[in-house]
Amino acid sequence: MAEYQAPLRDMRFVLNEVFEANKLWASLAGTRDTVDPETAEAILEEAGKITASLIAPLSRNGDEEGCSWHSAGVKTPKGYKEAYKTFIEGGWCGLSGNANYEGMGMPKMLAAQFEEMLYSSDISFGLYICLTSGACLAIDAHASEELKQKYLPKMYSGEWSGAMDLTEPHSGTDLGMIRTKAVENGDGSYSITGTKIFITGGEQDLSENIIHLVLAKLPGAPAGSRGISLFLVPRNCVDENNVVGENNKVTCGSIEHKMGIKASATCVMNYDGAQGWLVGEVNKGLAAMFTMMNYERLSVGVQGFAAAERSYQNAVEYAKDRIQGRSPAGVVAPSKEADPIIVHPDVRRMLMTMRAYTEGSRAFSTYVASYLDRAKFSDNAEEKAQADAMVALLTPIAKAYMTDRALDSCVAGQQVFGGHGFIREWGQEQLVRDTRITQIYEGTNGIQALDLMGRKIVANNGKLYELFVKEVSDFIEANSDNSAIKPYLESLAATIERLSDVTESVIKAAASDPHAIGAASVDYLELFGLTCYAYVWARMAKVAAEKVAGDSSGFYDAKIKTAKFFFNRLLPKTVSLSESIKSGSADMMSLDEACF
């Protein structure tokens, strides 16, 4: 298996050349004094080194050994505690944390590149870090000043970690059904009682304390999701001097035995009258939790294509080394008894598909992160409002489309290895197993599709969609005289027209057909995802075309050739997806239930 190397050249390309991050950060009130080109470059360089040298070597053993449960808690695999200690000493846990509470205050566009490196090196290790970052976001946005002062510095330092506790045995996506209860103690705190399942990092032996964000209901709360409140519940009690004491009646009942991410503890958590504190307003817990959800869902999308990047690196190295058969165009390696398999068109098809989707995902995730940065750091009300709207529209696509294509890419990488791809020692089958979860947690991809089609498109009659169409249309119009990218712009324009036609069709159908949204949603998200990738690939092709003439490294030429592959071989899928969506719900719903 190839040793992981962070794709820093491509990260710099999307950050600095395509989306001009430094110009954006200089324009935002919350980042102009925090990050500059030199700082960003130093962070990328050091992140590349620490993920490749410290974390990537843990992945194989972490998968082999996994986590183990015992009555005193959860033990992580050999090497994790030592690596975690080294990692937090570098200050990495607070990279995007609020500088007022000892975080570094870095923007999401930069943090997304860091998360990619973290997840490429070892998804399981990365989850412990990124769940803490997500919990910090919710605390920073909604908790009282007292709670922020008490908990955020320790969480940003990595001394304490974070976990989010939503799901219960009987309640998955429908959180309105939760039974965990909260009762006022009369001193500003609450007593929390209930059981949560599938809690990533709910228990581990890496950090001194674990700060749980727990959804629960107060007595007499409104039914359904309108009655959910959010509580901060530390695993261990913390006194007024921030000294960690005895257990806070928070215990791990067991851990799940999973097909992948085995070094990440997925826990059943029991709260037996644990002391907690309200985060945000009573009965507004779901809204508070969703502050971190947009970031976490983008993070899961990044997690997916990060694994695909690792699979691609492995597959390329193998395809260049493994000899089998001869090139259809004639012998390539006459001194060997066969040619490297990279000469064969089908192997090229798999590698180019992986490359096009992975590079497209990196660009798209950076694009979405740019709107998260505008929404968080801008002092312009109109810019913030538009950014919030774009984040709402694009988040389900970022989570679902990137992870769907990531699993496809990991499977393709496994296939390049042939029989060896099925063997544990080569590492490809682990990436397939690890990546599979990304389509499930943080809201399954089917739920993401329903959210996009129902809440983000039909519910507002396409108003959010119009923001995206205007941006793409403006890009096409602004570059209409650019002959170097004319073919891409023509394909992009046709794709936008196709997506707009389908959008209008589903909105109209939903007025009379209760199944229209659900029947269209998954195909619609894929169609929208392909359109988004066409947009970012057109932007990448524009930059590459401007710089290819003076480039001796071949980087920009490779970018143009990958863009051509995407537009000619992958984007045409939008035609069949469009026809499928417009066929409606009748064929899907007509078969009687008894016939299944």
Q: Which residues are catalytic?
A: 442
Task: Please tell me the distance from the alpha carbon of residue 323 to that of residue 311, in angstroms, as a whole number.
Answer: 19
For the chain, the first-to-last Cα distance in angstroms comes to: 44
State the burial class of residue 546 (Cβ atoms within 10 Å of its Cβ: 0-12, 13-18, 19+): middle
Task: Please tell me the distance from the alpha carbon of residue 303 to that of residue 147, in angstroms, as a whole number.
Answer: 30
Which tokens go with 318?
Answer: 């193998």
| Nearest by Cα to 261 from 422, 128, 353 | 128
Task: Please tell me the distance from the alpha carbon of residue 22 to that of residue 373, in angstroms, as a whole number.
Answer: 12
Hey, how many other C-beta atoms are within 10 angstroms of the C-beta on 316?
17
State the burial class of residue 562 (Cβ atoms within 10 Å of its Cβ: 0-12, 13-18, 19+): buried
Q: Which amino acid is at 402?
A: M
For 578, the enclosing helix (H) or strand (E) is helix 573-582
Q: Which amino acid is at 279?
A: V
Backbone angles phi, psi at 80, to 5 degrees: -70, -45
Could you tell me whether strands 68-70 and 236-238 are parallel, antiparallel, or unpaired per DSSP bridges? unpaired
* Secondary structure, 3-state, 128-150: HHHHHHHHHHHHHHHCCHHHHHH
3-state secondary structure of 231: strand
What are residue 193's DSSP bridge partners? 181, 272
| Nearest by Cα to 432 from 253, 304, 278 | 304
